[in-house]
Amino acid sequence: MEKILVANPKGGVGKSTLATNLAGWLAKSGKRTMLGDTDRQQSSRAWLSLRSPALPYITAWDIQPGKPARPPKETTHVVLDSPAGLHGKRLEQLLRMANRIIVPLQPSLFDIFATRVFIDELLATKQYRKEAVRIAVVGMRVDARTRSSGELERFLEDTGLPVVAHLRDTQNYVQAAAHGMSIFDLPAAQGAHDWEQWAPLLRWVDPV
């Protein structure tokens, strides 16, 4: 089972946007996909509640009385949306559930400073040192051609972590989310440019 954790302890960096759209792509690709929300705000779960039965199906946690929540049987891909302030024991718990970690990061000075400590914490974990997890960064609300994109790349130089995609700031995400959709559920005339930006991230997630 492929288990992908979308994580950054800073709020407002686009974790739910990244998690819901990744789950949408996996489901559209025919994967048996679960979207798990570990955030108190339950943004991803609310998005699921808006999703039309006509769209590719995405499950939530299988919750049974007296038992821990778990992915439904036959799930092949799990996407976990994580809360702000994630660190310490809670981070360790979620890392044990994941084999890939995606860190969304906006190229602002304050976001970079706030995220640096978290990245250092990730790189120090046993899972990363033992190569049990792979970590990548996604630049959110950024144009790859801008100076701010270059600043993000320079920030990550000494970490060895790749920036696998740069996703622009567009109303496509807002409009799709309002209907429980991902950008991959949009018609090609509307979503093709964003699909192209996602392509390197999707190859990293599912290289086969």
| 92 alpha carbon, distance to own chain's centre | 17
**pLDDT, position 107:** 78
pTM: 0.91
Beta-bridge mates of residue 135: 101
User: Which of 41-45, 136-140, 145-149 is the least confident region?
Assistant: 145-149
Structure tokens at 68: 């821990």
Query: Residue 10 pLDDT > 90, yes or no?
Result: no
Query: Looking at per-residue confidence, does 77 or 94 come out higher?
Result: 77
**pLDDT, position 109:** 79
DSSP output for 120-160: HHHHTSHHHHTTSSEEEEEEES--TTSHHHHHHHHHHGGGT
In tens, the pLDDT along 25-71 reads 999 999 999 998 876 777 888 999 999 999 999 999 877 666 667 88
Query: Residue 84 pLDDT > 70, yes or no?
Result: yes
Domains of the chain: 2-205 (3.40.50.300)
Tokens 């400590």 map to which residue? Answer: 117
For a pLDDT cut of 70, what percent of the chain falls above it? 92
> Which residues fall within 8 angstroms of residue 109, CB to CB, at 6 or more apart?
none
Band (pLDDT 50/70/90 cuts) for residue 151 is confident
**pLDDT, position 89:** 82
* 3-state SS, residue 192: helix
Is 28 in contact with 56 (CB distance < 8 Å)? yes
Is 163 in contact with 41 (CB distance < 8 Å)? no
